[in-house]
Structure 1
Amino acid sequence: MSATAPLHHLSLIRLAFEIRHGRVSPVDAVQAMHDRIARHDGQLHAYATVDAAGALARAEQARAEIARGLCRGPLHGVPVAVKDLFDTADMPTEFGSRVMRGRRPAADATVVARLRAAGAILLGKLTLTEGAYADHHPDTVAPVNPWGAAHWTGTSSSGSGVAVAAGLIWGALGTDTGGSIRLPSACCGITGIKPTWGRVSRAGALALAPSLDHVGPMARSVADAVAMLGVIAGPDPLDPTAARDAVPDYAAEIARPVRGLAIGIDWRLLRARADDAVLASIDHVIDVMTGLGARMVDVRLPEIDPVLEGWAVQCAVEAAIVHRDDWATRPDDFGPRLAALIDRGHHHTAFELALAQDRRRTFTGAMEAVYDACDVLLVPGLPVAGPTLDYMAGLGEDPAAILAIGPFTAPFDVAGQPTVTVPCGISASGIPIGCQFAGPRFAEALVARAGHAFQTATDWHTRRPAGFA
């Protein structure tokens, strides 16, 4: 694509290339995003905070550095945004919460510091559900799906999904505890990578449930997302749970062909949980991938209902621990959905938690064993194509909603395994449909290779919502 096209049409990696070679100014890139935010975000509500003056100052600095031959890293001069649970020393970090309103961290989260070190320009913070859980706080105006205002944006990285889909940023960071990178990616027609638990540091990221929380990139394509993942991944002395494994060269890995790749699919699970439109999109993915030389393998995943129920227990207990001080002194400042979660966490028994943890260990081992028969798995992003807000409201309260909407996402948080979500179809209402490629622990490069191959043969990831093209 030519750099003379509208700047927001450029991919993240193409924009970085054009900036690096002096054909696009970082200042123009920041201004282009400011203009689009001013034009569209009053309708979409993707941003919690925009640092216009700071971003322009950093863009001027980047322009001067690049002009004299200094390259800070692969994202030098590229504007990005992050979910408003990552600490930022120059902007508030409020967690979508009344409890944390006005909170000003003293230092950047590790992933924010790594983005800045790679030259990225942080444009602002993106709206999220309260505490990264299921609903936005009543004081927060929820982001609007640019593909259709009556449809769900996904949670909890709602602002990240909306901003990328509507061309209000080139790439964003989200977090995923039960599907919160993948659900917005599927609903908004973008690409999201949920890495292996521990692949990316959580230092300076406010937690929902620490043992389930994953940090990852959201962008328009796999190539863009791995460019960000390569920057933020890796060991971190500030997070002892961050893995010490070497980080692959993702850009090189995704370029490898998928001929001979064995893709596992559990039709029993899919037919029991997914609607017809979702199943049709999976058939389409199979046609594309087999056309590229991959082969399909029938597999059987371990039962998911026990671990979904256990997920609800662990999430509640860990959230109660995270919020214990504010819950003791300011319980009325929490919104109803997060308050209900915390309250449940205080009432679960040790027996219930131990049972959930035992089931988690068993399930994780069984999920790793699935890959003895295949290289990656293919599963939907959501069981329902383009769910409406009314549909979501009718699911009931937790854990019933988790069982209904998260059968293809939460199990991979429980097992800590990586997945990439890519758009692969469109619903009858014109809302994107997404699928996931999943793999064993630390196989981000492999699942990204599958997703990238699919995107080289299709154009779903290049489509834009009407009115925001």
Structure 2
Amino acid sequence: MSATDDVLFLPIAELGRRYRDGSLSPTTVTRLTLERIERLDPTLNAFITVTAERALAGAARAEEELRGGLDRGPLHGVPIALKDLVDMAGVPMTCGSRILADHLPERDAAITARLEAVGAVLVGKTNMLEFAYGIVHPDYGQTNNPWDRSRTAGGSSGGSAAAVAAGLCFAAVGTDTGGSIRIPASYCGVAGLKPTYGLVDLEGVFPLSWSLDHAGPLARTSDDARLLLEALTGRSFVLEREVRGLRVGVLRAHAGGEEVEAGVHEVFERACAALHEAGAVLADVEVPDLDLADAALLNVLLPEASAVHARWLSERPGDYAPATRTQLELGFAVPAVTHVRAGQYRRHLSRQFARVFGEVEAILTPTAPWVAPHEDPAVAGDEGAAEARRTGPHNLTGFPALSVNGGFGAGGLPVGLQIVTPPGQDGLALWLGGRLEELLGSVRLPPGPG
């Protein structure tokens, strides 16, 4: 990797320091970012739309403001990307589907407006699975993994995760309905947070399942993810404490299982050992009835998604990828009573996790049971259920959950660790993620073209 490209992998705080001491400028960094996108994205397929002119104009404005003494905060002049289901006025928003191929939003989403207000440079809209529903639409194709381009970057926020990992932006926004931030973060070796439900405003974000949907940050480190979350919410999530004495629950039901690859289990055990050596107090914990979460997730997700798409499914069924259409049709077959019982289970599951959080401060599991596969499994299939088994419960409860890179498994591919904390304790999850990154030395750059 060249010295020029090294700039594109700086921590956001360090980039900001260099902007403010004059050794780097937003215009220079944005040009380098766009050049890197042009060079690498043909093989990664991380972007659907690159907003080069808008980005350069934003960079020039940020540069002028910083020179004039107007400082909008840590993301001022920093290249950021948005998943292509977030509205940006006048920029195509496709949701990775032929259905919205010609859609031009008239207004910015709340997320977009917040990022504009803090001076972020928006470089483009990232690729995603069709309507965030687990299937690649052939018009847009799969986002490939920067660690192995024959494998997927994950879904549905794979474009955001791959762009961050490959240095095509410093951070990106994704969405998560059953693991769609955390699973790509795991596969691509970056940090990805599903915040507390409702923390990030979803106005102007196209829904998959309105009671499960979350939007949140993907970044190369937990600290960078924190800075993006602060920009998205206007709140501070800085936390100062010691690892020593921290009570961490090890959810053994999700640490193992026949689907968990040996390399994933080894990385997880190393992380537990590192926390113990640093003085954390680890204890095995159990969550009653956790095994019912797989079915409950689908019994909420499927009918809510089908309700969103009912008109298009009737009028334009051939414009969906065939597997997406099949999943949408399945949603109409879920009985209303089943959907209601899934809602009752959600409240029960939240109470069970709350009980566990009376004993520990955070829960640790692997994020996914395996490293990045060659293709994304269908949401409604057995592999899809296994992939989301560790992430989906936290969409049902709405509790914050962060994936960080914990090391490397089969083929030298990244392995994610998931940190879950009580609702509103997003800062604790991000702080612990940062400590794990330090203890494990797990923040690395992918190989290949640089």
How high is the TM-score relative to the length of structure 1? 0.92
Indicate yes or no: 2:266 matched with 1:285. no
- The match for 1:231 is 231
- The match for 2:407 is 425
Question: Which one of 219, 227, 247 corresponds to residue 262 of structure 1?
Answer: 247
Q: Secondary structure at the match of 1:231?
A: helix
Query: Aligned letter for 2:99?
Result: V
Indicate yes or no: 2:350 matched with 1:364. yes
Are the counterparts in 1 of residues 173 and 215 from structure 2 also a CA contact under 8 Å?
A: yes
Are the counterparts in 1 of residues 96 and 127 from structure 2 also a CA contact under 8 Å?
A: yes
Q: Secondary structure at the match of 1:178?
A: coil
- Displacement of 1:289 in angstroms is 1.3
Q: Which runs of 5+ in 1 are unaligned?
A: 235-246
Label 1:256 to 1:397 Cα distance change in 2 as closer, same or farther (>3 A).
Answer: closer
Report the identity percentage. 35
Are the counterparts in 2 of residues 73 and 117 from structure 1 also a CA contact under 8 Å?
A: no
Q: Secondary structure at the match of 2:325?
A: helix
Q: Identify which range, 333-342 or 189-198, moves more after superposition.
A: 333-342
- The match for 1:321 is 307
Q: Secondary structure at the match of 1:211?
A: coil
Are the counterparts in 1 of residues 254 and 390 from structure 2 also a CA contact under 8 Å?
A: no
Are the counterparts in 2 of residues 126 and 159 from structure 1 also a CA contact under 8 Å?
A: yes
Q: Secondary structure at the match of 1:154?
A: coil
Question: Which one of 408, 415, 425 corresponds to residue 390 of structure 2?
Answer: 408
Write out per-residue CA displacement over residues 186-210 of structure 1, whole angstroms, 9 at most, x where no aligned residue.
Answer: 0000011110111111110001101
Are the counterparts in 1 of residues 128 and 156 from structure 2 also a CA contact under 8 Å?
A: yes
- Displacement of 1:468 in angstroms is 4.1
Question: Which one of 353, 356, 362 corresponds to residue 376 of structure 1?
Answer: 362
Write out per-residue CA displacement over residues 201-247 of structure 1, whole angstroms, 9 at most, x where no aligned residue.
Answer: 1110001101000110000001100000011126xxxxxxxxxxxx3
Aligned equivalents of 1:321, 1:272: Cα separation in 2: 34
Indicate yes or no: 2:373 matched with 1:388. yes
Query: Aligned letter for 1:220?
Result: R
Indicate yes or no: 2:284 matched with 1:298. yes
How high is the TM-score relative to the length of structure 2? 0.96
Aligned equivalents of 1:404, 1:272: Cα separation in 2: 10
Alignment of 1:44-443 (within 5 A): 44-233=44-233, 247=235, 249-250=236-237, 252-253=238-239, 255-273=240-258, 274-384=260-370, 386-389=371-374, 398-443=380-425
Kindly tell me the number of residue pairs found equivalent between the two proteins.
Answer: 447
- Displacement of 1:4 in angstroms is 7.8
Query: Aligned letter for 2:382?
Result: A
Label 1:164 to 1:88 Cα distance change in 2 as closer, same or farther (>3 A).
Answer: same
Write out per-residue CA displacement over residues 398-422 of structure 1, whole angstroms, 9 at most, x where no aligned residue.
Answer: 1423322111100111111101111
Q: Secondary structure at the match of 2:359?
A: coil
Indicate yes or no: 2:440 matched with 1:458. yes
Aligned equivalents of 1:184, 1:4: Cα separation in 2: 27
Q: Secondary structure at the match of 2:98?
A: coil
Label 1:467 to 1:397 Cα distance change in 2 as closer, same or farther (>3 A).
Answer: closer
Q: Moved runs in structure 1, 4+ residues, more than 4 A?
A: none
Q: Secondary structure at the match of 2:174?
A: strand
- Displacement of 1:60 in angstroms is 1.1
- The match for 1:6 is 6
Aligned equivalents of 1:11, 1:309: Cα separation in 2: 40
Aligned equivalents of 1:452, 1:232: Cα separation in 2: 19
CA RMSD of the aligned region, Å?
1.6
Q: Which runs of 5+ in 2 are unaligned?
A: none
Aligned equivalents of 2:272, 2:327: Cα separation in 1: 38
Are the counterparts in 2 of residues 257 and 453 from structure 1 also a CA contact under 8 Å?
A: no
